[in-house]
Structure 1
Amino acid sequence: MRSMWQFLGALIAASSLGLAQASSSTLETEEDVATALKSYGVNTAAINTLRSAGNKSTEVACQTACSSLSHLYGSQVLSPDTTAYNNFTGAFWSVQQEEVQPRCIFKPSKNTEVSAVVLVSRLTQCPFAAKSGGHAAFAGASSSPGGITIWFTDMNEVTLNADKSVASIGPGNVWGMVYEALAPYGLAVIGGRASSIGVGGFTTGGGISFYSNLYGWAIDNVESYEVVTASGHIVTATENKYSDLYWGLRGGGNNLGLVTKFNLYTVPSPLMYGDTRVFLETEFDPVINAFVNIVHDAPNDGNAQYYIAFLSTGGVNIASAELTYVKNVSNPPIYQQIKSIPAVSDNSTARTLVQYAEYIDSDNPYGLREVYWPISAYLNEEFAKWTVDYFFSVLPQVANVTGAQPVLVYQAVSEPMLKNMTKYGGNALGLEASKGPVHLMHISFWWDNASDDDTVYNWVGSFWDTVLAKAKDMGIYNEWIYMNYASQFQNVIAGYGAENKARLQKIAAKYDPQGVWQTLQPGYFKLTHAPVVTSP
């Protein structure tokens, strides 16, 4: 019988030589895994070695998996109590993610190594998670407690095809890196508005861009995905090949595979113009009226992208409007109304895309406890004003939370965005242009101490319960939840509607009949439940 190391080495070779040339077949059971491995000349009796004499505890499974990966890949595996490991866990955006301690961290450099780690996880039953940028706000989203965390950092290529119409982007990139790589060509892709956000989760969850009123969201501008399936196969999913998988990856999150390359359509990227205007509470009503009018005017000028943040700072209630224009035009007509409202400050300037993404990133500090929590409703000015008034009326309830900074953010899924969601066979989000613009609102809240976690979660949850009840009373409630902003208590996939949820589950059953992504990769938003199934 081969040793465990010989077995795993043969497995890696098999994944490199055979699984990359995959059909749509799957490995449905352990016996199927063994049969497939035998076809590669692997002595599958060595699987028993991985079972550690019948001990199937997660601790033993992950010790076996991490030791195996370390033997095979050496310095690509980071172990606890090392400087490299501690630098990794300390570099997440939210403290909740920093607190997660994986058994090991694996840094693949190519797609076959991603295939290998998935198969090692299956053989040992050690859970895993995958980190692109790590910008989620809750524990376990992209780091596996006691398991394997796959860190894509070394898969950070950015290349262009011959006619520069498609950029191939590795999941180890953050958007600032992508924009810097494409800037010399005068190009961009539909990506994040903050430079440190990762390509992976952003693109599989939706992806609002500065360019979204022109071209749609990131998921609507993917030419193809290179993806590792649960069986370890490496396939390229397009509108015409593995089209069901392609559709499901457009909003399905991490439920269908690990994407090892995003091939995104490029767009021109000229100098932009941005204007951050800050308003006092006396101007809230006209600011909201202007916001609603800008949303309705989006079909007439797709160069505009905007959001408004409502918050209290220094005892003063303010609204901060971020008005972006993807041409170097300082006063476009679409912003005329909101720019005529008296502001206490105005930070308007021309910027490159790289500069603008860095500027937005500065408003998202690292090293704090964080929660994002969104809802949606059909756009209605009366409801928008009521929600702002209610938000400020309940802020005193969290005044004693140390370091508390709750912010209510207004954005819209405009008519042009909704129409772009029908491109290339559509996406999984379940939004329809015929129903009109959707008001996407979310709470962004940071604070200092873990002892206040329950207070914050209960406050935000209670706030949205009241707001959702108001939306239902007004007949404007929308069940859709934006994955990229969702809290750990929200069942995102259910918000896509029963038909789309069932379609995603059917695709998952085809490509992952054993539920690898649902059980061995338990973090983030699953097909049937929220990351945390108990409400705060």
Structure 2
Amino acid sequence: MRRATTVVLLSFTSLLAVAQTQGPNFIYEVACDAIADVISSESDVYYPETQEYTSDNFHWALSSTTNSTCTVEPGTAEDVSKVLLVLGVTRTPFGIKGAGHTANPGYSSTAGVQIAMTRFTEVTYDAEANVARIGAGNIWDNVYAGLEPYNVSVVGGRVSGIGVAGFTLGGGYSFKSNEYGLTVDTVVGFEVVLPTGIIVNATADENSDLFFGLKGGFNNFGIVTTFYLQTHPQTAVWGGTIVTTGVDDEVVAATQNFYNNVTDPKAAILTTFNYDAALGMSITEMTLYYNAPTPPDGMFDDFIALPSLTQNVSTRSYLSLILSTVEASDGLRGYFHTVSLYDYSTSLLNAIVNETEFWRGQLESDVPGVFISYDVEPILPSVFSHGSDSAWPPSRENGILPLNIYYAWASPENDTLINHIMAQSADYLTQIAVAEGQDVAETSLYPNYALYNTTMERIYAGNLPRLREIKAKYDPFNVMGLSGGWKF
């Protein structure tokens, strides 16, 4: 859908003068119409009251969704270039949405122009190079499905519906990270549209500083349209989810035993302690994974022996495993936060369980629809040894175990309260870890989980000066500063 206009013929100086009386929405509308006039037939601009507009603005968490002035679905890198040039000239705020799974408000949404990368859905496989070419609009489900006929896969998301772009540009912990590292550690190249409109490739040999910055540096340098990821052979896997209630002591013991004794890089677990107001009860979920059709005898017996409400563990395709682990927001608002750890003790695991129960008692009667979740991710300390220097992590000396904290709720009136509680809970658990001897008081936080008011220093640490230099080189007019997210 396109809307013709004559206002784009005005000079930029005239536009600014009019905007002083008309307000910023005038410029936003001008930018929308200018984009519609310059893009090719491979792309489209959509306005309110269209299905495409609604879909383009939709985010997984209701609190991350903003009604933009218009949305644009570019279909080529060349059209992304034209869009960025218009936005830069008009200084129009914009959002860049892959799949919209970020929980931080305004990070991939905007009141200005919403760019939806939904048309970049290519998934192709170069068998000679063992590399997959993946469009930035994909979710991991589609990537795994596209590679399955070749019996290969990549290091990607662990639940259904997660977007490739944000996940990869923020680091990317995976079921396969013990074997291959983070997703950024498997990227061999990016196709990126710079804010100047130039389309470039970034690899270890070509634009190597940009390559470094994009590995964990999100959208600070331009818009990535294509990712090139290393592939690896993929057989059937063994895994699934067990849901229990009322047996947290046994779950803690099983998780601790796995963490202490399993060093096989093909194995992974996620143990999640939840309270769900919709069910009126606490439930615990354990996702088990082994990257082969059958795990070694005894490895997961402690989990399998638990009394379960539901259980779907089996030998299956990797795609089947991902499709079985849907992360639903149920139309609620939501935030993520994190604690960086180097170790899991039984006392720390019990403290995590207690946080779920404590905040349940504080919130269940006053916060409608509250959902509380603490996700324990035991990962081998060698996880960072698989990659090379990247924007994140700023240090690869010690592997980080990112505790994922997730809260959901129904009313915007509770936004500030939940933000405060999540930060307080993360600080409390950090203090417990420090008291046990873990040097994590200032350890970098995983950016894909970090709450929106986390400081840049706490995420990127000593890499910040270098990242700011790269940002100034590739985006001298700070066009990408008009978009949301972690900004250098």
- Relative to the length of structure 1, the TM-score reads 0.82
Match of 1:428 in 2: 392
1:103-161 Cα offsets, whole Å, 9 max, x none, are 1111111111111111111111111111111001133221211x111111111111122
Match of 1:442 in 2: 404
Structure 1 residue corresponding to 2:51, chosen from 83, 88, 91: 83
1:366 shift after superposition = 4.4
Match of 2:450 in 1: 486
Q: Is the 8 A contact 1:301 1:334 kept in 2?
A: no
Match of 1:265 in 2: 230
1:331 shift after superposition = 5.2
Q: Is the 8 A contact 1:131 1:143 kept in 2?
A: yes
Structure 1, 393-402 or 104-113: larger mean CA deviation: 393-402
Structure 1 residue corresponding to 2:183, chosen from 218, 226, 229: 218
1:171 shift after superposition = 0.6
1:339-371 Cα offsets, whole Å, 9 max, x none, are 45665654321221222111112x324422112
Match of 2:385 in 1: 419
2:375 is the counterpart of 1:409: yes
Q: Is the 8 A contact 1:247 1:428 kept in 2?
A: no
Match of 1:514 in 2: 477
* 1:237 aligned partner, one-letter code: A
Q: For 1:330 and 1:336, how far apart are their aligned partners in 2?
A: 10
Match of 2:322 in 1: 357
How has the CA–CA distance of structure 1 residues 294 and 162 changed in structure 2, closer, same or farther, with 3 Å as cutoff? same
Q: Is the 8 A contact 1:409 1:443 kept in 2?
A: yes
Structure 1 residue corresponding to 2:333, chosen from 369, 389, 405: 369
Match of 1:252 in 2: 217
Match of 1:464 in 2: 426
Match of 1:35 in 2: none
Q: For 2:295 and 2:417, how far apart are their aligned partners in 1?
A: 43
Q: Is the 8 A contact 2:19 2:26 kept in 1?
A: no
What SS is found at the alignment partner of 2:312? strand
1:60-459 equivalence runs, <5 A? 60-73=26-39, 76-89=44-57, 91-98=58-65, 100-145=66-111, 147-163=112-128, 165-284=130-249, 286-297=250-261, 300-312=263-275, 314=279, 316-330=281-295, 332-339=297-304, 346-361=311-326, 363-381=327-345, 382-400=347-365, 401-422=367-388, 425-433=389-397, 435=398, 437-459=399-421
Q: Is the 8 A contact 1:214 1:416 kept in 2?
A: no
Q: Is the 8 A contact 2:352 2:374 kept in 1?
A: no
How has the CA–CA distance of structure 1 residues 283 and 130 changed in structure 2, closer, same or farther, with 3 Å as cutoff? closer
Q: For 2:420 and 2:381, how far apart are their aligned partners in 1?
A: 34
1:28-54 Cα offsets, whole Å, 9 max, x none, are xxxxxxxxxxxxxxxxx9554654657
Q: Is the 8 A contact 1:169 1:263 kept in 2?
A: yes
Q: Is the 8 A contact 1:219 1:427 kept in 2?
A: no
How has the CA–CA distance of structure 1 residues 329 and 427 changed in structure 2, closer, same or farther, with 3 Å as cutoff? farther
Q: For 1:72 and 1:233, how far apart are their aligned partners in 2?
A: 16
1:315 shift after superposition = 5.4
* 1:251 aligned partner, one-letter code: G
Match of 2:485 in 1: 524
Match of 1:531 in 2: none
| CA RMSD, 1 decimal | 2.7
Q: Number of matched residues?
A: 476
Match of 1:31 in 2: none
How has the CA–CA distance of structure 1 residues 117 and 336 changed in structure 2, closer, same or farther, with 3 Å as cutoff? same
* 1:465 aligned partner, one-letter code: D
What SS is found at the alignment partner of 1:415? coil
Q: Is the 8 A contact 1:77 1:106 kept in 2?
A: yes
Q: For 2:260 and 2:171, how far apart are their aligned partners in 1?
A: 21
Q: For 1:263 and 1:134, how far apart are their aligned partners in 2?
A: 21
1:495-520 Cα offsets, whole Å, 9 max, x none, are 245321222112112212222222x1
Q: For 2:351 and 2:330, how far apart are their aligned partners in 1?
A: 32
* 2:485 aligned partner, one-letter code: Y
Percent of pairs with identical residues: 29
1:338 shift after superposition = 4.3
The structure in which a higher percent of residues are helix is 1
How has the CA–CA distance of structure 1 residues 330 and 391 changed in structure 2, closer, same or farther, with 3 Å as cutoff? same
Q: For 2:280 and 2:69, how far apart are their aligned partners in 1?
A: 45
Identify unmatched segments of 5+ residues in structure 1.
10-44, 528-536
Identify unmatched segments of 5+ residues in structure 2.
none
1:224 shift after superposition = 0.3
Write out the 4+ residue segments of structure 1 that deviate beyond 6 Å after TM superposition: 4-9
Structure 1, 68-77 or 122-131: larger mean CA deviation: 68-77
Q: For 2:143 and 2:12, how far apart are their aligned partners in 1?
A: 41
* 1:83 aligned partner, one-letter code: Q
* 1:471 aligned partner, one-letter code: A
What SS is found at the alignment partner of 2:324? helix
- Relative to the length of structure 2, the TM-score reads 0.89
* 1:80 aligned partner, one-letter code: P
Q: For 2:193 and 2:287, how far apart are their aligned partners in 1?
A: 38
